[in-house]
Structure 1
Amino acid sequence: MQATSWRKSSRSSDTGNQNCVECRQTWRKSSRSSNTGDQNCVEARAFEGQYQVRDSKLGEDSPVFDLPTAEFTGLLRAAARA
């Protein structure tokens, strides 16, 4: 998995308090993706209470789509029917 940007704990404040935690957000590739050279797959990650989706073959150059949880769930349901 490729690590991306750092994310500060939601309990951290902007008051100069140094007692906070940051963690890396990672992209997860679709479980339907294979290592056979099939380029038709997506990656997703949870980010700030919603989800982000991108085209895995473009990697860092891919546009990132922000989806609320309900829309991301709908996307997963639609993909399962395909």
Structure 2
Amino acid sequence: MFLGVYLFVQYNVSTIKKETYEYLLTKYDSDEIYKVQGTLGKGQLFIAIVIFEDEKDVVYEYAKKDGEIIQIYPEPGVGDYKHSSE
């Protein structure tokens, strides 16, 4: 049973990372993206952590909602962030 849960988590962490990276490539060049990492979230079960080359001190979080990748942190439109979705 533990193996099944582990594989489920690993699959979904890998999937959110891949899908988020593919989404970001529709908006940015690959050299603008420093890091994309899938992980377990708090409010969302699986999230992707994103750091951009020109803003390495800001951690963005993306999740999948209703079949689409969306930015969940920083809250879009709030604050003065270079890569905030609106």
User: Hey, which of these two has a bigger chunk of helix by percent?
Assistant: 2
Regarding TM over 0.5, the answer is no
The TM tier, using the shorter chain, reads 0.3 to 0.5
User: TM-score when scaled to structure 1?
Assistant: 0.36
User: TM-score when scaled to structure 2?
Assistant: 0.35
| Bigger CA radius of gyration | 1
